[in-house]
Amino acid sequence: MGEEEESLVTTTARDAILGRVRRSLGVSGTEINRRAAVADRLARAPRGVIPARGQIEHDARVALFITKIEAVQATTERVASPADVPRAVADYLRRHNLPQAVRMGADPRLEAVDWSREPQLSVAFGRSDGRDLVCVSHADAGIAETGTLALTSGPANPTTLNFLPDVHVVVLDAADVVGDAEAVFEGLRARFGVGQLPRTVNMVTGPSRSADIEQTLLLGAHGPRSLHVVVVG
Amino acid sequence: MQITSPRFKKNAHEALQNPPLQKAMGNVEVNFIGRRAASAAALPEFEALRDNARDIKNHTLQHLDLYLEAYERKVTEAGGHVHFAEDADAARKIILEICRQKGAKTVTKGKSMISEEIGLNQYLEANGVVPVETDLGEYIIQLRGEAPSHIIAPAVHVNKEEVEAEFRRVHTHLDPKRDLSEPTTLLAEARGELRAKFLAADVGITGANFLIAETGTSVIVTNEGNGDLTQILPRTHIVIASIEKITPTLNDVGQILRVLARSATGQEMSVYTTFSTGPRRPEDPDGPDDYHVVILDNGRSSMLGTDFEDMLRCIRCGACMNHCPVYHAIGGHAYGWVYPGPMGAVLTPTLIGVDKSGHLPNASTFCGRCESVCPMRIPLPKMMRHWREREFEQHLQPKAARWGLKTWAWFAKRPRVYQLATRVAMGGLGLMGRAKGRFASLPLASGWTTYRDFPAPEGETFQAQWAKRRKAS
């Protein structure tokens, strides 16, 4: 099938489908009020029903985030400042008998940290090819309501680091813990522009799991077997 | 896949006589119902969220043409390609053509019911492209050469001993003496086997839980992470989704996500909710170079404005089948096509015709549990009744059933005759059955009396008792 023919076929299918939708709805697609209703919803993006659970003051919100993400089998620890992150990561690796080697992206918040303070820890940068046991990412936000991390793709935090390692360590600034997913969406609109998103936004709520064999819950199906969150501040 | 819905009665009978299936189905009722109830009870806003989720979908369906156009514009802006497919055949051809253009030998696949609906795997295989299912449950049933028996737990009918047997049969390069007695060892083996396939695949195909008009984004909701490895490692990502997956905004998705996982598995959120927009950006170190979305109609546009429009709100959580006594008894394969349980009983006749699947909307006790747990408040029993009416109108039932219904209707429309007839019939049956109090067999009622006795009527008819009480009060 040539390029031209393909576009002809799909354009016809497109018009046929839209035509059938319109016939079934009894509309033409040019109605001003319908077009206004759609434009209004897309522009306004109403928040809807937001559970009260996450709508609390900052300290309680961070505490709720930690409770919630631990309830889905992630582990957490809290450190006072970014300078404490290398030690926290190295200690975590030691506690779990893991080699002192991690991979991370070019996130300025991770690059600003002096990793040489842990001389045994070797740090590689860039995307993963699947041979890294442990990867470190910096989250954009944490959602207290459900204990969910939000991560965005790009050189700062390549998406492969979220899924290929056995152990995923995620650094999260306590100041970035928000009440609900809608606050994350608002942040994305502010950062990337209204109607724009980076290639991938990952919302991660615990380590990978499957219950496909006899409904038995098992961790580490295809993604990380362990998720460790270092909350800074 | 081969449609066996016309043989539903035989399928159901065989399922009831299948001990391994009955053992596996025991897990469904025990696990899903309690987990959903607990997570719904833990969120005070749950019922309000269900209302809002229903309203969002209703609004979207009423404006579906415009949201489809808006979505298409945004995908194109982000550098992706949108293909519209009127039916299964068109969708398969579009996907094969993309695979051929990329010279793809193997494609990895995230779990997609639309892929099952269009029979994609068989088609790709027949055309020299090897599809590899990567969701653990889908992988198991692909090895077994089966269709899924549940829309979110495709291998729910399989016991772990059967998984072990399958892995030993297929993974012959591994040590035959290895221990596979526990689910953990089975999972570890699948993880190892599939990791190599993820890294080698040329194209990754996923479904979508949502297509967002605001941003031109496809969303997948998973627990394993296989859908993510499927879409970030190969150079091409193809999304296959049906037209009703369109959702206006990110915030609207946020509303529906709050009822989706709770209704499905009882989780507050599934582990991975992934928003994918276009191909990788120039500066991105990973992600696909090409991003295609195939939007399938396959009869759905004709459901708008009919008795079955509400079905287009379905978000495929599986709660209706998890709570269905018929599904618990017979499992998903007996329904004979892709979609089982109450949602399948409504959707299947739309997609393959009520002439082939008329048994499905009849396979219901009308207990109403499906509707009571449906996060999108779809009136499933009502729509099954609509199908029964269509079945009658189209003269699809056996002659005896039609004759019976017609006879009953003749009496029911004439209350005095009906009362007289029932009084005589009940009185007669009561007299005949007085000695034993029950009948071991009755003409025209063998469907009942083959399995259990029919109790002999006692006293007066319900209507006579009702009339007497009203007079007395």
User: Could you read off the pLDDT of B387-424 as tens digits, one per residue?
Assistant: 999 988 888 888 888 888 888 889 989 988 988 888 88
C-beta of residue B238 within 8 angstroms of C-beta of residue B98 = yes
Location of structure tokens 């879409």? B231
Q: What would the pLDDT profile of B319-333 be if each residue is shown by its tens digit?
A: 999 999 999 999 999
- Three-state secondary structure call for residue A204: strand
Are residues A109 and A10 both part of a single domain?
no
d(CA B213, CA A195): 9
d(CA B438, CA B432): 9
Contact in structure between A210 and B187 (CB atoms under 8 Å): yes
Is there a single domain that holds both residue A22 and residue A102? no
Question: One-letter amino acid identity for B367?
Answer: C
| pLDDT for res A9 | 56
DSSP B98: H
Can you give the pLDDT at residue B425? 86
Helix (H) or strand (E) holding B28: helix B19-41
Q: What would the pLDDT profile of A20-45 be if each residue is shown by its tens digit?
A: 999 999 999 999 999 999 999 999 99
> Cβ–Cβ of A220/B94 closer than 8 Å?
no
pLDDT band at B52 (very low <50, low <70, confident <90, very high): very high
- Residue pair B326/B320 in contact (Cβ under 8 Å)? The answer is no
Contacting B residues, span 209-228, partner chain A, CB-CB under 8 Å: 213-215, 217, 223-226, 228
**What is chain B's length?**
473
Q: What stretch of H or E contains B341?
A: helix B341-352
pLDDT of A8 over the 70 cut: no
Residue B283 Cα distances to A155, A199, B437, angstroms: 7, 11, 82
Residue identified by tokens 């008329």 is B358
Q: Are residues A121 and A181 in the same domain?
A: yes
Average pLDDT, chain B: 94
pLDDT range class, residue A3, cuts 50, 70, 90: very low
Q: Which residue of chain A has the CA closest to B282?
A: A154
- Name A104's bridge partners: A125, A136
What are the backbone angles phi and psi of residue B63, rounded to the nearest 5°?
A: -125, 30
The answer to whether B270 contacts chain A (CB < 8 Å) is yes
| B78, B135, B214: residue with CB nearest A45 | B214
pLDDT at B291: 98
A38 with A57, same domain: the answer is: no
Query: pLDDT tens across B331-362, in order?
Result: 999 999 999 999 999 999 999 999 999 999 99
- Closest CA–CA distance from residue B378 to any residue of chain A (Å): 19
Over the stretch B248-276, which tens digit does the pLDDT of each residue have? 999 999 999 999 999 999 999 999 999 99
Looking at the DSSP bridge assignments, the partners of residue A141 are A150
A39 and A104 housed in the same domain: no
Q: Is the pLDDT of residue A2 over 70?
A: no
Q: Which residues of B touch A159 (CB under 8 A)?
A: 228, 232, 286-287
Q: Interhelix angle for B160-170 vs B136-144, to 10°?
A: 70
Chain B residues within 8 A of A27 when measuring between CB atoms: 65
pTM (two decimals): 0.93
Nearest residue of chain B to residue A187 (CA atoms): B250
Residues pairing with B274 in the sheet: A202, B220
pLDDT reported for residue B282: 97
Taking the Cβ of residue B101 and every Cβ of chain A, the question of whether any pair is shorter than 8 Å is answered with: no
Phi, psi dihedrals of residue B278, rounded to the nearest 5°: 65, -170
Give the side-chain half-sphere CA count within 13 A for B119: 13
Tokens of B76: 């194109």
Are A218 and A118 contained in the same domain?
yes
Per-residue pLDDT band at B460 (split at 50, 70, 90): confident
- pLDDT higher than 60, residue A207: yes
The three-class DSSP label of residue B296 is strand
* A73 and A7 in a common domain: no
Residues A13, A40 share a domain = yes
Residue in A closest to B291 by C-alpha: A199
Answer whether B75 touches A (CB < 8 Å). no
Residue A221 and residue B187: Cβ atoms within 8 Å? yes
Which pLDDT score, from 0 to 100, does residue A11 have? Answer: 61
Predicted confidence band at B27 (pLDDT cuts at 50, 70, 90)? confident
pLDDT value at position B308? 96
Torsion angles phi and psi, residue B24, rounded to 5: -65, -40
**A174 DSSP 8-state letter:** G
Least Cα distance to B28 among B269, B260, B360, B340 occurs for B340
Cα–Cα distance between B336 and B344 in angstroms, integer?
Answer: 10
Q: Is the dihedral of CA B426, B428, B429, B430 positive or negative?
A: positive
Residue A187: strand pairing partners: none
Confidence of residue B103 (pLDDT cuts 50, 70, 90): very high
Q: Angle, nearest 10°, between helix axes B415-432 and B462-472? A: 110
B272–A26 CB contact, under 8 Å: no
Residues B196-255 pLDDT 10s? 999 999 999 999 999 999 999 999 999 999 999 999 999 999 999 999 999 999 999 999
Chain A closest CA to B447's CA: distance in Å?
34
Rounded to the nearest 5 degrees, what angle is found at the Cα of B80, between the Cα atoms of B253 and A164?
A: 70
Query: Contacts of residue B283 in chain A, CB cutoff 8 Å?
Result: 154-155
Q: Spell out a b/e string for B319-354, using b for 16 or more CB atoms within 10 Å of the CB, else e.
A: bbbbbbebbbebbbbbbbbbbbbbbbbbbbbbbbeb
How many pairs of residues across A and B have Cβ atoms under 8 Å apart?
Answer: 278
Model pLDDT for residues B131-144, shown as the tens digit of each residue: 999 999 999 999 99
Contacts of A230 (CB under 8 A, 6+ apart): A76, A77, A78, A79, A85, A88, A89, A169, A170, A171, A172
Sketch the domain layout of chain B as residue ranges: 43-298, 414-472
Shared domain for A170 and A201, answered yes or no, is yes
Closest A-chain CA to B85 = A13
Query: B463 falls in which pLDDT band (50, 70, 90)?
Result: confident
Query: Is the pLDDT reported for residue A4 higher than 70?
Result: no
CA A123 distance to own-chain centroid: 22
One domain, residues A140 and A225: yes
Considering only the beta carbons, identify the residue of B45, B274, B281 that sits closest to A202.
B274
Q: Give, rounded to a whole angstrom, the gap between the first and last alpha carbons of chain B.
A: 61
Task: Kindly report the CATH number assigned to the domain that includes residue A196.
Answer: 3.40.50.10420
| Mean pLDDT score, A156-175 | 98
CA distance B242 to B249: 17
pLDDT at A5 over 60: no
The predicted pLDDT at position A214 comes to: 87
Is there a single domain that holds both residue A146 and residue A228?
yes
pLDDT at B171 over 80: yes
Distance of CA B215 to the CA centre of its chain: 28
What's the angle, vertex CA A77, arms to CA A72 and CA A81, rounded to 5? 140
Residue B273's SS3 state is: strand
Whole-number percent of chain B with pLDDT over 70: 100
Interface test with B, best of A143, A180, A200 (most B CBs within 10 A): A200
pLDDT, position B434:
80
B130 CB neighbour count, 10 Å cutoff = 14
**What is the bridge-based pairing of β-strands B106-109 and B130-133?**
parallel
Beta strands in B44-104 (DSSP E): 81-85
Residue (of B211, B203, B78) closest to B134 by Cα position: B203
Tell me which H or E stretch contains A76: strand A75-79
- Do A131 and A153 belong together in one domain? yes
Parent domain of A7? 3-44
Q: Across the interface, do A209 and B223 touch by the CB < 8 Å criterion?
A: yes
The total number of structural domains in chain A stands at 2
CATH architecture of B43-298: 3-Layer(aba) Sandwich (3.40)
Residues whose CB is less than 8 angstroms from the CB of residue B42 and which lie 6 or more positions away in sequence, other chains included = B268
Please tell me the least confidently modeled range out of B59-63, B354-358, B433-437.
B433-437
B421-445: average pLDDT? 84
Please tell me the distance from the alpha carbon of residue B347 to that of residue B353, in angstroms, as a whole number. 10
Among residues B85, B124, B86, B122, the alpha carbon closest in space to that of B102 is found at B124
From A153, A139, A228, A93, select the one nearest B217 (Cα to Cα).
A153
